[in-house]
Amino acid sequence: MNKAAMVAVGMLVAGAAGAQQYPAKTVRMLVGYAPGGGTDIMARVVAQKLSEGLNQQFVVENRPGANANLAAELAAKAPADGYTLLMISVSHAISKPMYRKLGYDIERDFTPVIEVSSVPQLVVTTMSLPVKSVKELIALAKSRPGQVTFASSGDGSPEHIAAEMFKSIAGIDMTHVPYKGGGPSAVAIIGGETVVGFNTAPVAIPHVKNNRLKVLAVTEAKRTPTLPDVPTVAEAGLPGYAMSTWYGLVAPTGVPREAIARLNTDINRILRLPDVRDRFATLGAEPRGGTAEQFGAYIKSEVAKFSKLAKERGLVLE
């Protein structure tokens, strides 16, 4: 065997060994929000199961700030060795077209690993609002331009964007009232400070079941098993509308393909576990999975969708 062939064989053996060894040390999983929120919950479920399955610690590290962009900037600058990962959400696809300045690019600076789950949002109102359907809400908003108020968990949040999409397709004007989180925004609707919300299922469902909020529709393209009798927004009178709060895992661009493949394979396994599926069901979440390439294509399509919306609605954040 000549020298060149020996070198090639050596590289193949080393590559195979590296793939088998990953992860060889603790992996940190950055989350751009404080503990207890949807992104944090998804990260902790995945991290615990990865730790058990791969015999290495996967540690969730919360770095809240700047609407999750702080953690993304840190992750983008981390070594591309597979030992720093980032749990992202739909917020990151929203941020790219809506912020004037970002310290990262969700498509350029990251390699997709896998989509973990999606959670529907619910169109909810105060119990006293005189509407029983999406069509009646649209009719009310048209009769009172700018007078119907909607709550969100902040400017540029998924709840805010879901409502802006609703307004755009329905051709109505409602007034945005931002709050500091999904919980406070739901409380505001219950108390009548605002009258409409597009709250995520984990936040809204307990209030709906306790008859503190009225639910009109689900924002996703299909109904949620948690509330099977509640129609989608499209079914309820606004064809073409679909919005979900999704979560997924990415790594800095340049991470070895073997590491991405191993993470993808093991997380797909995790998402099929009965206890994980049961945990997600309590949150109104649907396990997703699939290939890294599929997740990458989905991120691209979401960025394109929100870019179009930002241009149409003039949504720009500092």
Tell me the CATH number at 305. Answer: 3.40.190.150
Structurally, the chain folds into a number of domains equal to: 2
Are 106 and 250 in a shared domain? yes
Is 181 a member of any domain? yes
Residue 17: is its pLDDT beyond 60? no
- Domain closes at, from 218, 236, 256: 218
Is 230 a member of any domain? no
Q: Between 15 and 102, whose confidence is greater?
A: 102
Cα Rg for the chain, rounded, in angstroms?
21
Are 114 and 124 in a shared domain? no
Are 250 and 113 in a shared domain? yes
Quote the tokens at residue 200.
């995520």
Residues spanned by the domain of 207: 120-218
- Domain closes at, from 165, 184, 218: 218
Summarised one tens digit per residue, pLDDT across range 196-221 is 999 988 888 889 999 999 999 999 99
Report which DSSP code applies to 179.
-
Are 146 and 186 in a shared domain? yes
Are 19 and 103 in a shared domain? yes
Are 47 and 110 in a shared domain? yes
Are 281 and 194 in a shared domain? no
Are 25 and 114 in a shared domain? yes
Are 144 and 109 in a shared domain? no
Is 250 a member of any domain? yes
Q: What is the pLDDT of residue 10?
A: 41
pLDDT category of residue 133 using cuts at 50, 70 and 90: very high
Are 136 and 189 in a shared domain? yes
Rounded CA-CA distance 255/109 in Å is 11
Are 182 and 204 in a shared domain? yes
Q: What is the mean pLDDT of residues 98-122?
A: 94
Are 62 and 132 in a shared domain? no
User: Which of these ranges, 13-17, 36-40, 240-244, has the smallest mean pLDDT?
Assistant: 13-17
Rounded CA-CA distance 116/305 in Å is 20
Is 190 a member of any domain? yes
Whether the CB-CB separation of 128 and 200 falls below 8 Å is answered with no
Q: Between 122 and 283, whose confidence is greater?
A: 122
Q: What is the pLDDT of residue 318?
A: 64
Is 212 a member of any domain? yes
Is 13 a member of any domain? yes
Q: Between 131 and 318, whose confidence is greater?
A: 131
CATH assignment of the domain containing 129? 3.40.190.10
Q: What is the pLDDT of residue 5?
A: 45
Is 32 a member of any domain? yes
Half-sphere exposure of 64 (CA within 13 A, CB side): 8
Summarised one tens digit per residue, pLDDT across range 61-85 is 999 888 789 999 999 999 999 999 9
Q: Is the peptide bond before 23 cis (omega within 30 degrees of 0)?
A: yes
Nearest to 291 by CA among 264, 273, 269, 271: 264
Q: Between 12 and 56, whose confidence is greater?
A: 56
Is 296 a member of any domain? yes
